[in-house]
Amino acid sequence: MEKLLSKIPEELRSLISKLREQALAQDLKVYLVGGFVRDLILGVKNLDLDIVVEGDGIKFAEDFVKPQEGKIIVHKHFGTATVFLEKIFKVDFSSARKEIYPKPAHLPIVSPGSLKDDLFRRDFTINAMAISLAEGTIVDYFDGQDDLRNKKIRILHDLSFIDDPTRVLRGIRFEQRFNFSIESKTLKLLKEAVKLRMLEKVQPHRTRDDLILALKENNPIGNIIRIKQLVGFKFIHPKLRLFANNFAYLRSLEKEIKWFDKNYPQRRGLDVWLIYLIGLVDSLKPLAIRNICDRFGLRKGEEKRLLGPKQVTRRFIVDLSNPKIKPARIFALLNPLSYETVIALKAKYNNPVLKRHIADFLEIYNDMCIFVSGDDLHCLGLSPGPRYQEIFTLVLNAKLNGEVKNKEEELSLIKELLNKRHPILRGVAPNSKGTLP
Ligand code: CTP
């Protein structure tokens, strides 16, 4: 045990020591459980601790957070608490519990239980191991270590997928992540649950969460392929099917995401799951995509980004594919769109000119700004108002098109516009001096 713990970061080890000291001082049986234990044995980095207390988990969490700088969120209803420490560490606490599923695919009824009950209610043997903090030993009632060694995903009891059908997606996710295989009886029961369309009976937000997790994995396309083989996509939408062209699009998305990450690490990180979801639902009409958003309770901003590539017009694509298009027009077309939509368009259209224009937008135009400010316009005798924004847009367009390069040229352009009485400046008297201070 000590050997295993010696491999984790020092701060995490000292955190675990503190938890251990508190457990010993309060004479409580406290365990590390779940994914952290699995990853510790596998030697995979995991900073999320899951703690189970045979007793009051919330009280243990409150006592733990008191002497240190941390934030605690208590979910009284679920008997759990989450503690956030120094931003990177998240520790989930819960009281050991027993679960009974009164109805398939519905949330369980929970009551206090032993550690064994708590481990037995879990999804797979590899996630159902614990480490006793007091004794520093691994507790492995269901041979999770054997399954880790043999690279097997195995459920703990025959009704596991019926009780909680989201485990179908979780099983695929762990299979793909660790390159394990789903053990034969588990696979048979998984297929039976699929046949009974159990996944369609779960509250949609729960399948949504597991679908998003699958799309956030390192190998989302592997997950999608496996979902196609074992489950199908009816749980997303009754009409959703994927063919070779959809997979070609998904691969192209993967390539463009890598391109973006490599070239623009300093920009806002992409919501990669959303880009893969764009690829996944590409064969559907906008109305069907809206229905998915409603059913899955996606946020308005997510819905907008998901629908982005569907909402560009033919004219938009023709313009963006025109080698003679001016930079200001490229900017006007792409700037209102999210990065996710822009990346999806770059992946979707196999047109080198369009791809180059998108790359230019991200590389040059997206970051371009002008030097003149509101103060400068004021000095020129323009009173503040919506016109300011219109002037800035004119100047920016000129800059994008290479017609002005520095502040002097920007100001000259504005003065020229004033003298020629450009339509947006109509009704504005130029400064009596017509010069800058
Ligand atoms: N769990 C479960 N059934 C579920 C969800 C979770 O049994 N439908 C249990 C598993 O024991 C899991 C633990 O709760 O290990 C924590 O859940 P989660 O954080 O989702 O899983 P991790 O195993 O930590 O997965 P990941 O590495 O993806 O964070």
Q: Which atom of ligand 1 is nearest to the CA of 122?
A: 7
The helix/strand count (H/E) of the chain reads as 22, 11
Q: Say which CATH number the domain at 132 has.
A: 3.30.460.10
Q: Indicate the residue among 114, 129, 150 that finishes a domain.
A: 150
- Number of domains comprising the chain: 2
Residue 181: in which H helix or E strand, if any? strand 181-182
d(CA 62, CA 366): 47
Q: Which atom of ligand 1 is nearest to the CA of 170?
A: 8
Residue 361 domain flag: no
Q: Which atom of ligand 1 is nearest to the CA of 34?
A: 15
The pLDDT assigned to 426 comes to: 56
Residue 392 domain flag: yes
Residue 97 domain flag: yes
Task: Provide long-range contacts, Cβ within 8 A and 24+ apart, for 32-35.
Answer: 32/130, 32/131, 32/133, 33/118, 33/119, 33/129, 33/130, 33/131, 34/122, 34/127, 34/128, 35/127
For residue 267 the two structure tokens come to 């920009």
Q: Is the CB of 122 under 6 A from ligand 1?
A: yes
Q: Is the CB of 50 under 6 A from ligand 1?
A: yes
Residue 339 domain flag: no
d(CA 285, CA 36): 41
Q: Is the CB of 97 under 6 A from ligand 1?
A: no
Q: Indicate the residue among 150, 167, 192 that finishes a domain.
A: 150
Closest-CA residue, ligand 1 atom 27, reads 35
Torsion of CA 149, 43, 58, 29, to 10 degrees: 60
CA of 298 to the centre of ligand 1 (A): 22
Give the residue, out of 127, 161, 180, 208, with the most ligand 1 atoms within 8 A of its beta carbon, to mutate for a pocket test.
127
Residue 255 domain flag: no
Chain position carrying tokens 């100047």: 395
The pLDDT assigned to 6 comes to: 81
CA of 303 to the centre of ligand 1 (A): 27
Which alpha helices (DSSP H) does 140-285 contain, by range? 144-150, 160-163, 166-178, 184-195, 204-216, 220-230, 244-263, 272-280
Q: Which atom of ligand 1 is nearest to the CA of 167?
A: 8
Phi and psi of 83, rounded to 5°? Answer: -110, 130
Residue 41: in which H helix or E strand, if any? helix 35-42
Closest-CA residue, ligand 1 atom 13, reads 34
The pLDDT assigned to 418 comes to: 79
The pLDDT assigned to 132 comes to: 96
The pLDDT assigned to 423 comes to: 64
CA of 124 to the centre of ligand 1 (A): 9
CA of 253 to the centre of ligand 1 (A): 28
d(CA 291, CA 93): 36
d(CA 354, CA 144): 51
Maximal C-alpha separation, the chain: 88
Q: Are 182 and 194 in contact (CB under 8 A)?
A: no
Task: Provide long-range contacts, Cβ within 8 A and 24+ apart, for 426-435.
Answer: 428/381, 428/382, 428/383, 428/387, 429/381, 430/380, 430/381, 431/379, 431/380, 431/381, 432/381
Residue 326 domain flag: no
Question: How does strand 97-100 pair with strand 130-132?
Answer: unpaired
For residue 130, count CB atoms less than 10 angstroms from its CB and return exposed for 0-12, middle for 13-18, buried for 19 or more: buried
Q: Is the CB of 95 under 6 A from ligand 1?
A: no
The pLDDT assigned to 424 comes to: 60
Q: Which atom of ligand 1 is nearest to the CA of 164?
A: 8
Q: Is the CB of 92 under 6 A from ligand 1?
A: no
CA of 21 to the centre of ligand 1 (A): 26
The pLDDT assigned to 188 comes to: 98
CA distances (Å), origin 196, targets 186, 189, 361: 15, 11, 49
Residue 128 domain flag: yes
d(CA 331, CA 320): 10
Residue 238 domain flag: no
Q: Indicate the residue among 97, 121, 150 that finishes a domain.
A: 150
Q: What is the pLDDT along the chain (437 residues), one digit of tens a residue?
A: 677 888 888 888 999 999 999 999 999 999 999 999 999 999 999 989 999 999 999 999 999 999 888 899 999 888 899 999 876 788 999 999 999 998 888 889 889 999 999 999 999 999 999 999 999 999 999 999 999 999 999 999 999 999 999 999 999 999 999 999 999 999 999 999 999 999 999 999 999 999 999 999 999 999 999 999 999 999 999 999 999 999 999 999 999 999 999 998 888 889 999 999 999 999 999 999 999 999 999 999 999 999 999 999 999 999 999 999 999 999 999 999 999 999 999 999 999 999 999 999 999 888 888 999 999 989 888 888 888 888 899 999 999 998 999 999 999 898 888 787 666 665 554 444 433 32
Q: Is the CB of 123 under 6 A from ligand 1?
A: yes
Q: Are 80 and 93 in contact (CB under 8 A)?
A: yes
Structural domain harbouring 62? 2-150
